[in-house]
Amino acid sequence: MAAELFAFTDGACSGNPGPGGWGVVLQARDGDRVVRQRELAGGEPATTNNRMELTAAIAALEALERPAAITVVTDSAYLRSGVTQWIHGWKRNGWKTSDRKPVKNEDLWRRLDAAQARHRVNWDWVRGHAGHPENERADALARGGMAPFQRRGSGAGG
């Protein structure tokens, strides 16, 4: 039996907008056993939490070297709803919302759409900061990705 692939993603921002970071825990699992794991992280000096959530998912999918079946697990309702529901209407409407306004973060939504087109993606949601080990690790990676852009003494949020 082939290992199942999972990507646990998270974004963080200190202020919104403000310095931000993203984190990904990529896992190949055989049942409950992790057979391979890889972690990714990054950040930007001025961004939003939603942009970091999108960037984490993009990084996860773009890190896969060949087409694959993967479950992306996020604690962002914005990301999950956007990619599973809203994006279809946005594309049909020329990247405009139902009230004909430009889609926020269109550049990242387009990039995510292209990245997921190579794969068979199942999108799953977990409650953030609820003790889910891989989600907590992705959050720690996101906060770490944000750290180089923060001023001393400022707080972080996931």
Digit-coded pLDDT (tens) for 100-115: 999 999 999 999 999 9
Superfamily of domain 4-149: Ribonuclease H-like superfamily/Ribonuclease H (3.30.420.10)
The larger pLDDT score, comparing residue 158 to residue 122, is at 122
Per-residue pLDDT band at 152 (split at 50, 70, 90):
low
Nearest alpha-carbon partner for 135 in 81, 79, 75, 78: 75
Sequence-ordered list of residues with C-beta below 8 angstroms from that of 53, at least 6 positions apart, any chain:
9, 10, 11, 22, 74, 76, 78, 79
Tokens of 87: 């994006």
**57 pLDDT more than 70:** yes
Contact in structure between 13 and 146 (CB atoms under 8 Å) = yes
Q: Is the pLDDT of residue 86 over 80?
A: yes
pLDDT score, position 153: 46
Q: Which residues are catalytic?
A: 10-11, 53, 75, 129, 139
The length of the chain in residues reads 158
Measuring CA to CA, which residue among 42, 67, 71 is closest to residue 145?
A: 42
Q: Residue 106 and residue 32: Cα distance in Å, rounded?
A: 37
Confidence of residue 155 (pLDDT cuts 50, 70, 90): very low
Question: Is 146:14 a contact under the CB 8 Å cutoff?
Answer: yes
Q: What is the DSSP letter of 147?
A: G
The whole-model pTM stands at 0.93
Decide: 14 and 157 in contact? Cβ < 8 Å: yes
**Residue 132 reports pLDDT greater than 60:** yes
The percentage of residues in the chain with a pLDDT greater than 70, rounded to a whole number, is 95
pLDDT tens digits, one per residue of 14-53: 999 999 999 999 999 999 899 999 999 999 999 999 999 9
